[in-house]
A and B are shown apart, each in its own frame.
Chain A
């Protein structure tokens, strides 16, 4: 069975600074997808970034980038130039390529961006 672990329950960062959220996972699959989702107080789950396991290049989306280490089964999220609107719960998630749609989530990390 797959598991996803986020070891940082809470983090804080000063506005405009950079922060990295950690995620590790366990799987015997070779082909899969990894995601970072943001959940602000509105409860809406918002996709931040997505990584295909077969791609060696790390995904980037504007201020968000990942450090994907397949051998180490690590998938960290870096937020650059943090903004107050980045304050939210962040979830790392795993999905088998052969089982499209079923996401396995980590425990979440609450990020507070301070002015």
Chain B
């Protein structure tokens, strides 16, 4: 399957600051996805990031809070802006390809204090 390198693996941030999470894939993929997993909860899709176009956000998520970049077919970033303790979650990127199917990154555990 595709190999995804996600960074950082964890961080502790002050409220009001921003954190950018990076995902690097070892092959070119059309679609990349960003999920949030709140403590003890399931995964919820934040947005779909396609190369060359603006990200598509799910209901309840907005670009000002979660700006996403997708500069090429192997890389994407998610920024969590103006953080509050409610943003403390695991954030995961994922990709789907016709060859490898669905693969997740190892996740970023974010704690906002």
Chains A and B bind each other: yes
A residues sitting closer than 8 Å to B (CB atoms) are 35, 42-45, 47, 50, 91, 95, 100-108
- With contact pairs A43-B106, A45-B92, A47-B102 given, residues A100 and B31 touching in the complex (Cβ less than 8 Å): yes
Closest Cβ of chain B: how far from A49's Cβ, in Å? 12
B-side interface residues, number (CB < 8 Å): 19
B48→A102 contact, CB < 8 A: yes
B43→A101 contact, CB < 8 A: no
Interchain CA distance A95-B101 in the complex, whole Å: 12
A105→B42 contact, CB < 8 A: yes
Interchain CA distance A16-B94 in the complex, whole Å: 33
Instruction: Select one of B31, B103, B109 contacting A43, CB under 8 A.
Output: B109
Instruction: Select one of A35, A44, A104, A108 contacting B107, CB under 8 A.
Output: A44
A43→B107 contact, CB < 8 A: yes
B residues sitting closer than 8 Å to A (CB atoms) are 31, 33, 41-45, 48, 90, 92, 94, 96, 101-104, 106-107, 109
Closest Cβ of chain B: how far from A55's Cβ, in Å? 15
Closest Cβ of chain A: how far from B110's Cβ, in Å? 12
Interchain CA distance A19-B96 in the complex, whole Å: 30
Which residues does chain B contribute within 8 Å of A108, judged by CB atoms?
Answer: 41-42
Residue contacts A-B, CB under 8 angstroms, 30 given: A42-B106, A43-B90, A43-B92, A43-B106, A43-B107, A44-B106, A45-B43, A45-B92, A45-B94, A45-B107, A47-B101, A47-B102, A50-B101, A91-B43, A100-B96, A101-B33, A101-B48, A101-B96, A101-B102, A102-B33, A102-B45, A102-B48, A103-B33, A103-B102, A104-B45, A105-B43, A105-B44, A106-B42, A108-B41, A108-B42
Closest Cβ of chain B: how far from A53's Cβ, in Å? 16
Interchain CA distance A40-B101 in the complex, whole Å: 20
A101→B31 contact, CB < 8 A: yes
